[in-house]
Amino acid sequence: MGRRPVDASPDGWATQLSSASNLTDYDEARRDFSWAVAQRFLSGLPDARGINIAYEAVDRHVATGRGGHVAIRSIGRHGTRELTYRELMTLSNRFANLLRSLGVGPRARVFTVLGRQAELYVTALGCWKNTSVLSPLFAAFGPEPIRNRLLLGDGEVLVTTTSLYRRKIAPQRDQLPALRHILLIDAPGEPPAGTIDLGTALAAQPDEWTIPATSPEAMALLHFTSGTTGTPKGAIHVHEAVVAHHVTAAFALDLRPDDVFWCTADPGWVTGTSYGIIAPLTHGVTLLADDGDFDAARWYQLLADNHVTVWYTAPTALRMLMRAGTEMAARYDLSALRHIASVGEPLNPEVVVWAQEAYGMPVHDNWWQTETGAIMISNYPSMPIRPGSMGRPMPGVEAGVLRCGDEGRAAVTDGQVEVLGADQVGELALRPGWPSMFRGYLHDDARYLAAFAGGWYLTGDLARIDADGYFWFVGRADDVIKSSGHLVGPFEVESTLLEHPAVTEAGVIGVPDPIAGEIVKAFVTLRAGYQPDEALRGELLAFGRRRLGAVAPRDIAFDQNLPHTSSGKVMRRLLKARELGLPEGDLSTLERPR
């Protein structure tokens, strides 16, 4: 951890901070770690008025004389734009003033449908300064996922681009009565009716803002994630989460103030906020914000031109880079790079090994999810990597593997669970208690409570721990699909397909794919009178793309006899087993084909 406060505990893990890596002795750090001590690495609001993410990320650096350091180097279609910490402070102050002038108060939900433009950071930080709640969505979502989330999250403000607004929001604005203000980042002059040009509005606001007292438990973020059934879930995170963002970035990403850090995650994904905005800024680094699409040569050029030192990316991208070849990597000067980390999907061991050959260093896999808010399990720079393993739990985090029952989830008997020993597969679980732990699913206490048993938070993943304490990912315990890093809820996709007049029923599964991890495949039953031909298949694929965007099915099969459980639900697990030619398992709850 580069920024060492004078009052930090002089013993234990806090003394390990050295030039070699932030975490030099994992076992010692784990033994001595406490979240209470960790909190001292941040400053809290002046006059002990609580803790606010935006203060820790920006204003604190200005107060300690680093206001002139470049906070964000934003690279987009219109060139490069740099914002220093001082400029970011001023712009986010103006954004907070703008929210107040619009009558947007604390706890109000501010949504973004943006890429990594500079306005994303200004919006996020200004929103927290006003103690409003940020909810970032994928710009690649189609109109339906956007509308569903705005409705579920009570969206009051939306910040987006003119083109996204015209294509995805304007046609359905009458269905979003609670959405009071739409701010467009690129509509100077005459913005479309009922919208505001953000740049013009910000220019009219004062530069000064005093962050109000902020409780550590005040809601700061609403991240939508998908489950097996039902609507998307809005995971609630609070301002105190910033302690976990900061500490985990120190340990797992090895961030220090002089770093140039590139997190390639989309802002619509939790990684794009925790490590794409908050954690790096709390460390005072220069953040590279690239708004372009993936392109192997362009990415290498970005790494080289910007002297990126720490790079946090995802397995799908790394697999594509591996496919582009070692020779391509060798053409670029990547000598500034000192640490590479990856998250979001299983990272193939061969990618870890290939990176050593191509970049002269391995990729450090780590594991976490929307609900955990921060990295929970990681390979650390100071620890030998076991390619294929997610690493070991973060100091301050207790992880275990629980015995599963017939349903494939942790078995709970009289409120108790059984913790498994080494090399046994079960559900990965975490002991609640770290600062970025989600505090609930918005308006859905039942689903929140169902995520806990026997004093553990149940992650929905299957894993095993080896004899040395390394964690190995085995698979999902539920039907959720991971496609190019997107967590896709089959229910949401099925519901959309059912809106097509030809479809009476749908079952959606993930099918393994060498690059994307999994692709979304739908099995549909047709209404009488429709022909299962190529024309209809093409029409359904296009229908899915139009409505759902990035989470749409990539393949559709016709099936007039979808398998059902005795309660009438489509058995996705059986569809998957059949698709993959695997044993069909226990079919006792299977209904005979109708």
Binding site for ligand AMP (CB under 6 A): 225, 269-270, 343-347, 365-367, 369-370, 390, 459-461, 473, 476, 482, 487
CB of 73 to ligand AMP, least distance (A): 26
CB of 518 to ligand AMP, least distance (A): 11
Cβ neighbour number for residue 357 with a 10 Å cutoff: 12
Q: Phi and psi for 55 in degrees, rounded to 5?
A: -65, -45
CB of 502 to ligand AMP, least distance (A): 31
Q: Which is nearer to ligand AMP, 187 or 270 (CB)?
A: 270
Q: Phi and psi for 508 in degrees, rounded to 5?
A: -120, 130
CB of 391 to ligand AMP, least distance (A): 8
Q: Which is nearer to ligand AMP, 58 or 458 (CB)?
A: 458
Q: Which is nearer to ligand AMP, 269 or 558 (CB)?
A: 269
Distances (CA, A) of 343 to 157, 301, 308: 30, 22, 18
Strand 517-526 relative to strand 503-513, pairing: antiparallel
CB of 552 to ligand AMP, least distance (A): 17
Q: Which is nearer to ligand AMP, 154 or 461 (CB)?
A: 461
CB of 564 to ligand AMP, least distance (A): 26
CB of 260 to ligand AMP, least distance (A): 24
* Contact by Cβ (8 Å): 227, 476: no
DSSP 58-70: IIHHHHTT-TTSE
Q: Which is nearer to ligand AMP, 386 or 476 (CB)?
A: 476
Q: Which is nearer to ligand AMP, 13 or 380 (CB)?
A: 380
Cα 172–Cα 173–Cα 179 angle in degrees, nearest 5: 135
Reported as type and span, the H/E element at residue 75 is: strand 70-76
Which tokens go with 533? Answer: 């031909």
Q: Which is nearer to ligand AMP, 57 or 487 (CB)?
A: 487
Which tokens go with 365? Answer: 């896999």
CB of 463 to ligand AMP, least distance (A): 9
Q: How far apart are the first and last CA of the chain?
A: 62
Q: Which is nearer to ligand AMP, 156 or 365 (CB)?
A: 365
Rounded distance, CA 440 to CA 235, Å? 6
R_g (Cα) of the chain, nearest Å: 24
Rounded distance, CA 122 to CA 263, Å? 17
Residue 304, amino acid? A
Cα 298–Cα 335–Cα 354 angle in degrees, nearest 5: 70
